[in-house]
Copies of this chain bind each other. A is one copy, B any other.
Amino acid sequence: MPELRKDPIVNRWVIISTERGKRPHDFPSPQKRVNSQSCPFCTGNEGLTPPEIQSVRRDSSSPDTPGWSVRVVPNKYPALLNSDDAVTRSGAGDGLFDSMTGFGTHEVIIESPEHDKEFEFLPNPHVADCLQVFQERFLELKKDDRFKYILIFKNHGESAGASIEHSHCQLIGLPIVPELVNEELAGSLRHYEKNERCIYCDLIKLELSDGRRIVTQNEEFVALCPYASAFPFEMWILPVNHNARFENTDEDEFPHLASLFKETILRMKTALGTPPYNFYLHTSPIHGNHNDHYHWHIEIMPKLTKVAGFEQGTGFFINPTLPEEAAEILRNTKI
């Protein structure tokens, strides 16, 4: 069973994933180039993954057979384990040390049955299906009280941490709320208590009227380069109207999100020459009422620079590109 350990000095948990149990010769583990014959995420190879959790099938095909367009499977090498009898707290810590059973879930959302189809080239309704699958996983996992937070994220490209090239996202369900989300909740609550307004709503209004950091927008969503971008060409996608919880998104909104999300990734790839990148979705924790002050969003980070000793030692980042210039370049990129 993996173990969660808390640093005795700072308020930081780590997952010690002993299932992976890596010894010196196991590093590094480079991305394996596979073709569609041996790729576990390709249609026809359903038997190479653990049994599917969920799928989108327009025909009446059976689980774990071809016929799907989006497919959710357990991660074969999970960072956390979903065991029925796992309690999340192991009880008392040991002196200065505090630990927790590594309970959680780790799923893979395969976006397309085709090996070489990046999601920005899928038809809009297909991407909207992917987004709706995200939503359905949230609604399903929320039924288990032991989950406190669900993170959906993508690693694309080897140096962004992808180990399989076939386009996919990952979902990790956690027994604690991540520190970075807690910081956003605390910051947005401070603003709400002072102004009785959502800070993200204020920010969107300001950015739309200023315009310099906007990448693209439609009636429901906006993509922008944040004022204090930690990384060059960092982008956020936000719903224009207030909504704290991704899973409360209206079905009608997914096609708008699909179209803007695809456009944003395409602009980034075209402007920057298909860099490796990560994105993740920040939304309200499962428990607690953050409905008035928080605002869900997606953060996208092309991997153009290296996180080095300065960033690791301070937690603050050196960004060599002005966000206003990044937005202008992305906005003016012909796609």
Q: Give A contacts to B, CB under 8 Å.
A: 5-18, 20-24, 26-28, 79, 95-97, 151, 153-155, 159-162, 170, 172, 174, 178-181, 183-184, 186-188, 191, 199-200, 202-203, 206, 226-230, 232-233, 271-273, 275, 278-282, 299, 301, 304-310, 312-323, 325, 329
Contacts and interface: CB of A to CB of B under 8 A. Distances in A.
B320 A20 contact: yes
Contact of A318 (B10, B79, B153, B272): B79
19 contacts: A5-B227, A7-B227, A8-B199, A8-B203, A11-B187, A12-B183, A14-B229, A14-B230, A14-B319, A23-B325, A153-B313, A155-B308, A155-B309, A160-B309, A161-B309, A278-B313, A282-B313, A301-B312, A307-B307
A154 B14 contact: no
**Cβ-closest 9 pairs across A and B:** A161-B308, A280-B313, A153-B309, A178-B314, A20-B320, A278-B309, A180-B315, A22-B320, A5-B228
Nearest to A181: B314
Contacts of A21: 320-322, 325
Contacts of A329: 23-24
Nearest to A329: B24
A117 to B, nearest CB: 20
A170 B57 CA distance: 56
A304 B30 CA distance: 11
A304 B202 contact: no
Contacts of A188: 9
A179 B316 contact: yes
B280 A312 contact: yes
Contacts of A6: 228
A171 to B, nearest CB: 10
B299 A228 contact: no
Contacts of A159: 306
Given A153-B309, A329-B24, A174 B314 contact: yes
Given A206-B95, A310-B79, A325-B23, A9 B200 contact: yes
Residue among A6, A313, A322 with max Cβ neighbours from chain B (10 Å): A313
A183 to B, nearest CB: 4
Given A184-B9, A315-B12, A96 B202 contact: yes
Given A155-B309, A309-B170, A15 B96 contact: no
